Structure 1
Amino acid sequence: MLLQLNIQNFAIVRSLDIDWQQGMTTITGETGAGKSIAIDALGLCLGDRAVTNVVRPNCKKAELAATFDVSKNPKALKWLTHHDLLLDNECILRRVISAEGRSKAYINGSQVPLAQLKEMGQLLINIHGQHDHQLITKAVEQRNILDQYATHHDLIENVKHYYNKHKELTREYDLLLESKIQRDAKQQLLQYQVNELNEFSIQQGEFESLEIEYTKQSNGQHILNQALQTLQILSDDEQFNVVDQLRRIAEQLSQLSVLDKSLTPLVEQVNSALIQTEDAASELTHYYERLELDPQGYQVIEERYSQIIQLAKKHQITPESLFELHQQLNLELQQMGADESRLAIVADEIEQAKLAYLNAAEQLSDSRTKSANKLSKLISASMNELNMPHGKFAINVNANPSDKISTSGYDNVEFLVSLNPGQALEAMNKVASGGELSRISLAMQVILSAKVITPTLIFDEVDVGISGPTATMVGKKLQQLAHSTQVICVTHLPQVASKGRQQLFVAKLTDGEHTETTVTELSEQGRVQEIARLLAGDKITDNSLANAQELLAG
């Protein structure tokens, strides 16, 4: 519930502190005194849009702070805990607005985005302005009221879930369909490329092996000639070869080492070189004997080698990358085939989601129909109590499961009313006056309060157009509502003002140069005087005072 409201330099308020009580609080005052100024300030604390003229003239900024007790508000406690803003069992919403129109928002001393202030405010207060009763003539508001009474939140969420699923699948299907022409053209090219590479069937590492063999075959005669020439030098030339010369050197050094032992290591080195040279000559001989020129084999290798280079050039890659490209294109082609399959799968999933949506919407529609019958009877009875003795109320739920779906199901909800005997039920805005709409709206609020608990309800002159016995019944209804929630009501009716547990009086003071609004909590005697003023106007009589005391006693 709302505990305190502090206002500094707001509009024509210089400084104001208001303490609020449980139950029903009424706010009265003379016309033009600014009875709704506290409600406007609360609206800004709850996240309403700020404008530059809210700051008191010649002041730099306006500061507004509302303190709430959230100890019995589990939703508010959960929200504050989730956002790490919990401070004992109190919640302080604060708004600072500069003369230039810039504003800052705070929750329990921490600066927060305005959206969070508004989100939190919705868990604390519900404000009904003097024109809000007109909202109940709107189709969307009528459906929302019925859903609030039915408390079938799970059914609504189920409908939203399948609506969103259907929407996501439809978006995916449209994207797949949109790209189908481009995909088909690309798929045709890919198929050609993959077929070509499949036919060529390059193997991993094949180009590197071919390159080695190609180089060898293309230089075969040169290799053969050079190998023979080298072999001659190493060992085969009868006049001079390296092996014979090393053998003679080894023998001479061996003889010398007998005379000089220091030459022994050198003898060993020459002998080692001799052995290695003989081995090299032997291996070169075997290599030369196996070496053959194969013109036909070379032609096959050359052709394959050239084809790889040409294919690589065609795809603008290196020959070494051709195998990886083949694998990549093949995989891409398979994925395109999967996209085609996905198109058919998504089309089927859309139908399944539509069926699931229709099933969820049907359950929601059934719940709305049952609740509509109950709510219609309750509102009809409440209308009779609010001085509409012949009033009848009905809620028409028209199921329309067409191709078009929405997050709220497929029902068209319409509020119908009849106010006179023999009068057919018609749409509310066609037969109900502003005052009658206001009373019907109040009846709904009283009924919904038992289903949807809002810690604080504020009514800003919702009793406009009401007087006499009807005003008395409106006062009793508001008083009844205050048994389950805190009610704050800005009113001009003595019958309503007298039902408050607490009454605040708004006055506008001026010294000719400055104007200031004040809010005072009235004493018992002050309430008698104010109720008498509301009854009789400026000339308060003994009769009006007696009537005021009677109203307050009732």
Structure 2
Amino acid sequence: MLIGLEIKNFAIVSNLSTEWHGGMTAITGETGAGKSIAIDALSLCLGERAEASAVRPGTDRAEICAQFDIKNLPLAQAFLDSQLLSNGDDECLLRRVICKNGRSKSYINGSPVTAAQLKELGQFLISIHGQHAHQHLLKNEHQLNLLDDYAGHQHLVLNVKQAFNTHQALQREFKQLQQQQQQYAAQKQLLEYQVAELDEFALQDGEFAAIEAEHYKLSHSQTLLSACQAELQQLYENDEQNACSLLQHSAQRFVELASYDESLTNIAELLSEAAVQVEEASREIRDYAEQTDLDPGRLMEVETRLTGAMDLARKHHIKPEQLVEFHHNITEELQSISNNNDRLAQLDNDIEQALIDYKATAEALSKSRENAAKTLNKLISASMSNLSMENGRFKIMLTQEPDKVPNSIGFDTVSFLVSTNPGQPLQPLSKVASGGELSRISLAIQVIIAQKVTTPTLIFDEVDVGISGPTASAVGKLLRQLGKSTQVICVTHLPQVASSGHQQFFVAKEVTKGATFTHMKELNDDGRIDEIARLLAGDNISQMAKANAKELIMAHA
């Protein structure tokens, strides 16, 4: 429930602070005084688009703060908790600042937020019904939304939308895969050839580096063998003189010399160890030479394998070391293309099942709409009678087309039909209702929908345009009755409606030193009598007008 509203430098308002109560609050004032200024400001505070023109001329920025009691609003509390915006108590403060350059800043409980977050929270706080709402009533899409709002079956609406989205997504994937299949036809043939060629060559991971090293060794095997044999002679096998025997001789000599000088012992040991190392190296050289064969056949085999790998790499414009990875990648690509046929077949079945699911959810929504429409027909027809259309009849015509292309709202198209005179057949609202009748029908629908939706605060901005006399009294009673279950704020020019309020605000405009100011104040009992009398009789308020005004107010006491 709205409990406070502060407006600074907004349009022709300089500074305005108001407190609000439950029940029905009427807002009245002279023509052009800006009776809707508070609602316009409140709309901005709830996330509507801000423009630089909203800032009062000569000031830098406009600021609007709206305070709400949310202790009985679980949806609003849940939103604040989910967005980490709760302040831990039963009140919520919304604030919007609009700069003269058109930029704006938004806050919830002091934390910066986006205008979209304000709007999302606002749907749990206030519902505004403008003076042009009856024009929207002529649109079939809006009519369907009203029916869904009254039915309260948002879970069914969401189910249909989700089923539709699933069906659409599957169809998009199917179409995309079909296009890919056509594009990949030639590519698949090439990939099949390339994969078959690489499969046949069957190069293993790390094999190219291994055969490259083996080829290098085999191509130098003669050099390796000759060098090993020559060095083996020099180191160990030459009978006349070799390194090993020379080292052994020197080691023995220094052993003898060490008997004269012990400091030579270390040299003798080093030479002895060197002789041992040379002997060990000679044995390994002999083993290597014995294992090294001159094998032209193996060299040719390795050379053929190496050349084949290099030719394949050159063919695919890659390095030979990348052949194994390339082989793996194009094999996967070919498998993916081949799998598309299986996926297309699966998608065909999935699309068929998704369509069955869509039709089932849409049918459930249609049945719920039918039930709600039957109830709404009776309620609106009765309300029309109360609004001086005694012979009025209202009917929601639902047309179901289960075989049409799926859409996000289901099978149904809707049309509001009405008959306002005896013997007149039901016809579309746009063809038979006059401006005043349309306004009354719109009001009846809005009030009935509002009672079902149970928005905590309902604002009616001059929705009583085009009505007067007994009808105006009926409208007043209707809004006051609604005010027993929810907060109702109504901008009106009718004394019958204004007198129905539990409280009343008066809006006035004045010009001071060339500047225009709008003021808004809550009226006491005497002030209400004077204002209702003004609405009845104009500026020349007589005692009779006051008496009539008092009588109107007392009728609702």
The two structures have a TM-score, normalised by structure 1, of 0.92
Equivalents in 2 of 1:445, 1:156: separation in Å? 20
2:453 counterpart SS class: coil
Question: What residue number does 1:205 align with?
Answer: 206
**Shift of residue 86, structure 1, vs aligned partner:** 2.4
Aligned-residue Cα RMSD (Å) equals: 2.5
- Alpha carbons of 1:213 and 1:51: their partners in 2 closer, same or farther (altered >3 Å)? closer
- Work out the CA distance in 1 between the residues paired with 2:169 and 2:113: 33
3-state SS, counterpart of residue 137 of structure 2: helix
Residue 459 of structure 2 corresponds to which residue in structure 1? 458
CA 1:108–1:261: 2 relative to 1, 3 Å: closer
1:95 alignment counterpart: 96
Q: Answer yes or no: is the 8 Å Cα contact 1:449–1:484 preserved in 2.
A: no
Answer yes or no: is the 8 Å Cα contact 1:46–1:117 preserved in 2.
Answer: yes
Distance 2:244 2:63 in 1: 109
Paired letter, 2:92: C
Instruction: Give the deviation of 1:183 after TM superposition.
Output: 3.2
Q: Point out the more displaced range, 373-382 or 350-359.
A: 350-359
Moved more, 232-241 or 381-390: 232-241
TM-score calculated relative to the size of structure 2: 0.92
Q: How many angstroms does 1:142 deviate by?
A: 0.7
Matched residue, 2:43? 43
Shift in Å at residue 179 of structure 1?
3.0
Opposite residue 24 of structure 2, the aligned amino acid is M
Shift of 1:291: 4.1
Query: Contact (CA 8 Å) 2:129, 2:459: kept in 1 or not?
Result: yes
Range that drifts further, 142-151 or 13-22: 13-22
CA distance in 2, matches of 1:3, 1:330: 70
1:274 and 1:92 map into 2 onto residues whose CA distance is: 97
**In structure 1, the residue corresponding to 2:452 is in which secondary structure?**
coil
Q: Which moved more, 1:261-270 or 1:443-452?
A: 261-270
Letter in 2 for 1:48: E
Query: Is residue 56 from structure 1 mapped to residue 56 from structure 2 by the alignment?
Result: yes
The structural deviation recorded for 1:286 is 4.7
For the Cα contact (< 8 Å) 2:219–2:299, is it kept in 1?
yes
Equivalent runs, 1:385-400 vs 2, <5 Å: 385-400=386-401
Q: Does residue 8 of structure 1 match 2:12? A: no
Give the 3-state SS of the residue equivalent to 2:377 in structure 1: helix
Partner residue, 2:73: 73
The farther-off stretch of 353-362 and 57-66 is 57-66
Shift of 1:226: 2.6
In structure 2, the partner of 1:522 is 523
Corresponding residue for 1:27? 27
Relative to structure 1, the CA distance from residue 397 to residue 293 in structure 2 (aligned partners, 3 Å threshold; closer, same or farther) is same
Alignment partners' CA distance in 1, 2:543 and 2:267: 146
| C-alpha distance in 2 between matches for 1:218 and 1:467 | 113
Give the distance between the partners of 1:260 and 1:53, measured in 2 at CA: 113
Query: Retained in 2: the 8 A contact 1:380–1:391?
Result: yes
How many Å separate the matches in 2 of 1:126 and 1:438?
A: 18
Q: Which residue of 1 aligns with 2:369?
A: 368
Q: Which amino acid aligns with 1:547?
A: N
How far apart in 2 are the matches of 1:267 and 1:397?
116
Deviations 1:508-536 (A, max 9, x none): 22356333222232232332222222222
The answer for the alignment partner of 2:506 in structure 1 is 505
What SS does structure 2 have at the residue aligned with 1:137? coil
Query: 2:345 & 2:525 partners in 1: Cα distance?
Result: 77
**Residue 242 (structure 1) shift:** 3.5
Per the alignment, residue 222 of structure 1 pairs with: 223
Give the C-alpha shift of residue 204 in structure 1: 3.0
Contact 1:28–1:506, Cα closer than 8 Å, also in 2: yes
Aligned residue in 1 for 2:323 = 322
Q: 1:95 to 1:275 in 2, by over 3 A?
A: closer
Deviation, structure 1 residue 387: 1.0
User: Partner of 1:137 in structure 2?
Assistant: 138
Q: 5 Å matches for 1:392-541?
A: 392-511=393-512, 513-541=514-542
The Cα of 1:178 is off from its aligned counterpart by: 3.3
- Structure 1 residues 251, 80: closer, same or farther in 2, change over 3 A? closer
Q: Distance in 2 between matches of 1:113 and 1:2?
A: 21
Distance 1:405 1:76 in 2: 34
**Number of the residue aligned with 1:158:** 159
Rounded Cα–Cα distance in structure 2 between residues aligned with 1:106 and 1:283: 85
**Could you say what secondary structure the match of 1:525 adopts?**
helix
Q: Secondary structure at the match of 1:179?
A: helix
The alpha carbon displacement at 1:425 in A equals 0.9
Contact 1:505/1:521, CA 8 A, preserved across alignment: yes
In 1, are the aligned partners of 2:181 and 2:337 still within 8 Å (CA)?
no
Deviations 1:431-471 (A, max 9, x none): 11122122112222232233211111111111111111111
- Kindly state the Cα deviation for residue 82 of structure 1 after the two structures are TM-superposed: 2.2
Amino acid at match of 1:446: V
Moved more, 65-74 or 464-473: 65-74
Cα distance in structure 2, aligned partners of 1:55 and 1:247? 109
| Unaligned stretches of 5+ residues in structure 1 | none
**How many Å separate the matches in 2 of 1:320 and 1:250?**
52
Aligned to 2:353: 352
Q: Please give the alpha-carbon distance, in whole angstroms, between the structure 1 residues aligned to 2:286 and 2:515.
A: 122
Deviation at 1:255, TM superposition (A): 5.4
Distance 1:383 1:242, change over 3 A: same
CA contact (8 A) 2:27 2:491 kept: yes
CA deviations 1:383-430 (Å, max 9, x no partner) are: 111111111111111111245222221210111111111111111011
> Are the equivalent residues in 2 in contact too, given 1:27–1:504 (CA < 8 A)?
yes
Aligned length: 554
How far, CA to CA, are the matches of 1:84 and 1:288 in structure 2?
81
Q: Which amino acid aligns with 1:169?
A: L
Q: What is the deviation of 1:103?
A: 2.6
Give the AA of the match of 2:447: V
Partner of 1:545: 546
3-state DSSP of counterpart to 1:519: strand
SS at match of 2:128: strand
Question: 12-21 vs 245-254, which deviates more?
Answer: 245-254
Q: Secondary structure at the match of 2:397?
A: strand
Give 1:356 shift: 1.0
Residue identity (%): 52
Measure how far apart 1:83 and its partner are: 2.3
